[in-house]
Every structure is written in structure tokens, then in C-alpha cells.
Amino acid sequence: MTGRIFNNRYQITERIGIGGMAEVYQAQDNVLGRRVAVKVMLPQYASDAAFAQRFRQEAASAANLQSPYIVNVYDWGQDDGTYFIVMEYIRGTDLKTGIVQRGALNQRKVAEIGSQVCQALSVAHNQDIIHRDIKPQNIMVQPDGNVKVMDFGIARAKNSVNAKTSTVLGTAHYISPEQAQGKELTAASDIYSLGIVLFEAATGKLPFDGPDAISVAMKQVNEEPPLPSDFNPDIDPGLESIIVKAMQKNPADRFATANDMRLALNDFLAGRPVKLAGAAVPGGFTSAQTRVMSPIEGGAAGADSTMVMPQPVKPVTHSGQTNYHGANTPNMPENKGGKKTGLIVAIVAAIAVIAIAALVFSGIFASGDPVPDVKGKTLEEATTIIEKAGFEVGTTNAVHDDSVAAGSVVSQDPAAGTKKPAGTKINLNISQGTEQVTVPDLTNKTPDEAQQLCDKVGLTMKAGTPAYDDKVEKGKISSQDLKAGDKAAKGSVITYVLSLGSEKVAVPNVVGKSQSDAMAALKNAGFEVSVSEEASSDVKQGNVIRQSPTSDESLEKGSTVSITVSSGKKSSEVPNVVGKSEGSAQTTLDNAGFRVSTEYQSSDSVKQGNVISQTPDGGSSLEPGKTVHLVISTGPSSSGGSSNGGSGNGGSGSQSNGNN
């Protein structure tokens, strides 16, 4: 496959992945000069009409999804029986790799990733498209920290696929209970899968695991998941409550939409209370599980007081699934006597003991004072708040963070709300703002060479409109919008212009023009000019006889056009034929390109038949084709040198072999 070119444009360079029905290759877009990813259907499926339709449907659906957090689909088509999709090439690491390498991630990072994935899912769900395979392997974390959701490979538009053929299982560790059971899916299925992804990112552990996919899928259906805090005791209760709500077995108990989940995550990131209507908050109780009890006779409460007692939560199993509901005392008869009243009091007391034990276990009644929340505060403000609460500021570390203003607290340890003894040191991470990096010089580099430079400093690239450039080789970068050597925020985008080489321009026709006009026309068109002269009987002196290249050709700007300019009519040197015989003179002048006219005259000094004189004289210049006039001797005159003008008696006469 390497080296193959699809649609005379996308040249395959290397394979970067393989899935159940397609391979993914890195390729070069030879038109726009950028790196792309090309997804190619495996050969065994290319001839299957059903799979081909599914592949085309995927391309059409994905192409309509426009979001900064979704991998862009640029093009798709068929080439020699092979179906392919051209996608944005993503640089970075998939979230699964990050979790495997580092374990549990920073809680803010987990929430940021979740919020961005929610935005991507909102775009898809608004078009009735369910991803169906949300997992960390399909979430790419880019060098700038933002994510891209990829591989809508088993996504389906709800209104476009036959229900009998639309049941497709995702990865067992992340599928929803309804997906494992083959039920009709809604957007809530993607929310459940995202809940598991965030669980794993926040704890480094999967909530359900097993020896095979079937056993894991069965656990998704039948078992309640552990709490994230079972694996990560330091997890923020607000973030934990979001994850727990997303992972509810009953789709109706999850977030109504991905956008609702995003808003909850954003509340957590902003330090606002996370409000989950009807959601069971870990370690606490919902409003439905809290009731007001009447005063208890003989109890500690005064006669006018009421006690708010939380009810315990117990698992209730039905339809193969376990859900948690408030436990009410079943079929309790109306209190009509002291024994029954005593029984009620005993039950209530037991409930109170259990509730208080749970609260103690959860840390609410731990000794010490709660650590104040100073996230988002300046160091000066945080110091004042911490010291006022009876604690001390510990170590302060400078960190880069693009979501927190420089000089403000990004995170703290111990976490806000944790109860600690007075004098405990609170360690703070202080934002330095977005990290600044030096912009590399991309000019005269290929896109791949430039990308390597950008990857080193954490910048991203975007191709602008290619343009002609006389000074930069075709296929290399001629300019960039961020100036080389300047500072830019890490993650910034550099827009570059790829050179198309020198622009070719039609050569103007200058034949017959004056030399000055011809040179002006050629130079205005972007050419250099070389001039030579040549005599011409047909072209006026100073005008162009011919040019090279001719006007039906195109040249790159800066090329040289040669013109030949007339120096005037041609002339040749007239041979000297005085003293020669008439026949010899005639031959000499004919060979030199001249015509000849003659007249005859007696001469005492020139032998009869020889040339007495010529006009023009020998050695002078004359255009070829012109006439040279000869005077031929008839010998001495009979009258002793005088002539009577007659030709028959040796006098003078004339004739012509040519025309003047």
C-alpha cells in the first residue's frame, strides 16, 4: 500500500493503525501539501455491498460533524474498488496510553477532557448521531492539551440504519448496559461510556474487569460499580458525583444530555458547587432520601424542635439490575401503643447511629478544621485566607496553566474541605499562565520538516492557501503568520503558505515593435531581456525582427527573452572588376549578388572587351540585388581618339544586363 496514490492526490506513506473493518494510513495530500490520515476499507469487505454502504454512511455522517473536538473528515471516495476516507492527521497520544503510563490523572485535567468530549458528543447528538464506542483509545490528547474524539467508525445516524442491523457492540469495558443487551441506544449510552472513561482517568482503574469480554459485559448489566473514591480517596466529591451520575444503570437517571454533563463539569472547574438534580452524591443523600421526623418523646430534642434524619440506602434488585433507593419501613402499622412507639424509636435510633457512623467514615466529622478553597485566588489572597483559617502556606510551585490567570492558585494540597489540624501546611501550585515558546522558522522547509520543529515546542500548524513564489522551491513553505523568533503561547496555531514555485507567465508578442517598446512590454511581464542586432531589408531599423521564446509559450517570471533588432538594410562590398574582361566581371558581380548594366566606349588605353570603369567603385558598400554599372572598352577609335557617338564604328554605346 505504501506509495499508492488515491485519486491522483493522496500518497500513502505508512500504516499507523488497523481496526475491525479498515486500516489507517498516514498520507501526503499532494494538492495542499499537508499530512493527512487515510482510512481504507479492508479488501475482504470492499466487495461486500452492506459493508460498503456502512463505510459510505460513516463518511457522510462524520463529514457533517464540525467541532474543534472532533477529527475533521476532509474527503472520501472510491479508487479502483477501494473505499477510503481522508481525515485530519492528529498528533498526540491517545488517552488510554496516558492513563497506562501515568495512572490517575490530575482531577482538573480529567474534568477538562470530559468537558471537551461532551462538547463533541453534543454536536453529534444534535444530528441524531450516537458514537457507540466512546473509550480512551478514541480520545486523542494533542500537544496543546486539547482533545479530539476520533473514529466514529460504528456511529450511526438514528434515522438512517435498519434497526435489525444497527446493533454494534463497542469495547466491553466501556459499553452501556443497554448496549450490552442489544437494546435500542440513545445519547445516554455515550454518556455512560464517558462516565467510565472519566472513572478510569480519575482513578487509574476500570470499574469493571474480567477474563473476557462477555464477563465484563455481564458486569455492566448486573453489577453496581464501585465509587471512584474507593480507588482514589483524594478525588473531589463534586467530580465524583458527576462520574457516578453518568454511570447510572438506568439511562433516565443519567444526565439528560451531554451538554448538561458539560455544564456540571464546568461548574467543578470553576469552583462552583456541582448541582445534580435527583443525583445520588457519594457519601451524601438526595432530597428524596431526606425527611423531617417528628419530635421524639424523651429524646434530646426540645419540644419545639424537629430532627432531620437521613434514611439509609439499600440495594434493590429487579429485572437483572441493581439500583439504590431510599429504604422505607414496609407495612408499619399505625402507632397505637407504647410498644409500637418504642419500636419506632428504636428503629429511628438505629438509623441515626448508622447515619452518623457513615458520616464519620466519610470524614465529615473528622477532627480539625476544613481547609479553605483558595483555587483561583492570588497568592497574596490565598495566604491571607489560609492563615486566617489557622493554617500555613507550605511550598509554592510555579506551573503553566492556560485556564488560570498568571499569579493565581491552580490547585492545592490538601484539597479544599479536607479537615486538618491547625497549623497544617497547605501546598499551592501557582499559575504562570500559558507557557510561552519561541516560534521556529518554517520557511524553506517541507511541511513534514516544519511539523517536527513545531512538535518540539508544542505549536500546531495549519495550511493556508498555496501561492506562487519566485524565491522558494515548489513544495516548501514560503511564509508563516507568526514571525520566527517571536514568543507565542504553547498550543498556538501557525498558518503557513506553501510555495507553488515560480509563476509561469505568457510571453508577450513584441515582433515588429521598436526596441524600447519591446523591452518595456517584456519587463512589465516580469522577464529579463537580451538584445542582438541583425541587418534586414524587410524590417525597419530599430524594430524587432524576431524573439525567443515566441509568444505562444509561457515562462517562469524572471526568465530571459531574447529579441533580435534590425540594424537596417543589408549591404555587401562591391568587387573591383576594372581591367577585367566583360565576361569575367559579369561572373564576379553575379557571384557577389549584384546585377550588372554595361555601356561601351572606345579607349586607347584599355584593351577591347575589358572594363574601363565601374559604378559604384570597387570596395564600396551596396545592398545585394542592386546594380553595378560597367563601361567596356571597344578599343582605339578610328579618328585618333575622338568619338562620334556611334557604336558600329568603334564609337560609344551602352546596354544593360540588369535594372537599376
Gap between the Cα atoms of 590 and 606, Å rounded: 23
* pLDDT at residue number 342: 45
> Regarding predicted confidence, which is higher, 243 or 572?
243
**Per-residue pLDDT tens over the stretch 503-537:** 788 899 999 999 999 999 999 988 999 999 988 87
* pLDDT at residue number 249: 96
CA distances in angstroms from 216 to 169, 248, 323, 442, listed in the order given:
13, 16, 18, 50
Which residue shows C-alpha cell 531581456?
529
> Regarding predicted confidence, which is higher, 235 or 432?
235
Mean pLDDT of the chain: 80
Concatenated DSSP letters of 172-187: GGG--HHHHTTPPP-H
39 annotated as ligand-binding: yes
Burial class from Cβ neighbours inside 10 Å (0-12, 13-18, 19+) for residue 413 reads: middle
Assess whether pLDDT exceeds 50 at residue 657.
no
Gap between the Cα atoms of 424 and 315, Å rounded: 39
**Per-residue pLDDT tens over the stretch 169-211:** 457 899 999 999 888 889 999 999 999 999 999 999 999 998 8
Least confident of 61-65, 112-116, 280-284, 475-479: 280-284
* pLDDT at residue number 514: 95
Determine if the pTM surpasses 0.75.
Answer: no
* pLDDT at residue number 628: 95
User: In 3-state terms, what secondary structure has residue 618?
Assistant: coil
Label residue 277 by pLDDT band (50, 70, 90): low
* pLDDT at residue number 367: 55
Phi, psi of 626 (to 5 degrees): -80, 170
Label residue 460 by pLDDT band (50, 70, 90): confident
Contact (CB, 8 A) for 254 and 278: no
Task: Name residue 580's amino acid.
Answer: K
Gap between the Cα atoms of 457 and 455, Å rounded: 5
Gap between the Cα atoms of 353 and 363, Å rounded: 15
Contact (CB, 8 A) for 326 and 314: no
**Active-site residue set:** 133
Gap between the Cα atoms of 358 and 279, Å rounded: 19
* Of 119, 188, 192, 191, residue with least CA distance to 158: 188
Report the DSSP pairing between strands 129-130 and 156-157: antiparallel
Gap between the Cα atoms of 347 and 60, Å rounded: 62
Contact (CB, 8 A) for 235 and 203: yes
Report the DSSP pairing between strands 392-399 and 425-431: parallel
* pLDDT at residue number 164: 37
User: Domains (ranges, CATH) in the chain?
Assistant: 5-88 (3.30.200.20), 93-269 (1.10.510.10), 287-291+307-362 (no CATH), 369-431 (3.30.10.20), 436-498 (3.30.10.20), 504-566 (3.30.10.20), 574-656 (3.30.10.20)
Label residue 289 by pLDDT band (50, 70, 90): very low
Q: How many CB atoms lie within 10 A of CB 138?
A: 24
Report CA Rg, the chain: 49
Gap between the Cα atoms of 133 and 137, Å rounded: 10
**Per-residue pLDDT tens over the stretch 553-562:** 888 888 899 9
